[in-house]
Amino acid sequence: MKRTLDLLLVMALASFVYGCKTSKLASTPSGLPQITTQALLDSVNNNSFSLMSAKLAVSHSNAKGTQNFGARIRVKKDSVIWLSVTPALGIEAVRVVITPDSIKMVNRIEQKYFVESFEKTNELLQLQLTYSVLQSVLLGEFVPVYDNKVYNLTPLVDLYTLVADEKKAQTSTVELKLDQRTEFDPSIWRVTRTILKNPPRNEEILAQYTDFERVGEKIFPTTMRFRTQGKDNIAVDLNWSKIEEKTTLRFPFNVPNKYAPY
């Protein structure tokens, strides 16, 4: 269970991220025009799937070592994230179903299950986790920590940067004041780099979205790399394959009677 929760933790906090901007599909624009923050975010969000399935190759590292495993993922945007973790031989070990209201997990190896609300899960993990943050991280979308008016948008030679203004952020009602910088590639309208830090605690999470590929009419990053730095150093690499946009999907979850709660 700890490994699975570590993976969710990294992805949920991956608004603290930075990486390298690369793309198989990108060309290099020049003389980028001024656009509004909302126009930029609309262009990026329109590049996301409403209903999708894929396979994941996951590498998870911490102070205790590195573990590699596979997973299947299904996403219905704004509704449900479904994960089936298969460490070896294609046999499912853990199934996770995340909705805007709850997190459910069944561990077939330990014959245990976990079903809690987001509020209770945040309390247990000492997080401020939301479904929308986790979804945005998995789909390569912008993670809005503040209202749009807090951000300053700047066009550079070949990318747009969206940076939280420190003075405006301090007057925000958001409880946790974080430094945030996000970079966008306008040739594919995708997030390529974000940096978000918590200076008082010397914490940050590093990530990159690279190796963009076209799937139907959408463009998706097939490599995602996340790094936490602070009290706990965790690394998670996600390599996506067999990405498909769907019209229908099932999200099955059940707990056998003999399984015990965590």
Q: Tell me, what DSSP letter sits at residue 68?
A: E
Domain map of the chain by residue range?
2-246
Q: Which two tokens stand for residue 138?
A: 């998995």
Let me know: does 14 contact 226? Beta carbons within 8 Å: yes
**pLDDT above 70 coverage of the chain, percent:** 87
Largest CA distance in the chain: 63
Pairing of strands 218-229, 235-245: antiparallel
Q: Which residues does residue 145 pair with via DSSP β-bridges, in sequence order?
A: none
Average pLDDT of span 240-245? 96
* Reported pTM: 0.82
Q: How many CA atoms lie within 13 A of 217 on its CB side?
A: 5
Pairing of strands 102-107, 112-117: antiparallel
Backbone φ, ψ for residue 120 (5° rounding): -70, -40
Numbers of helices and strands, H then E, in the chain: 5, 14
CA–CA gap between residue 136 and residue 149 (Å, rounded): 20
Q: Is the pLDDT score of 74 beyond 60?
A: yes
Q: Is the pLDDT score of 23 beyond 50?
A: no
Residue type, 167: K
| DSSP string over 233-245 | --EEEEEEEEEEE
CA torsion angle for 53, 185, 189, 247 (degrees, to 10)? -10
Q: Is the pLDDT score of 4 beyond 90?
A: no
Q: What is the pLDDT of residues 132-156, one digit of tens each?
A: 888 988 888 898 889 999 999 999 8
CATH number for region 2-246:
2.50.20.10
Q: Among residues 235, 246, 189, 245, which one has the least CA distance to residue 212?
A: 189
Let me know: does 18 contact 193? Beta carbons within 8 Å: yes
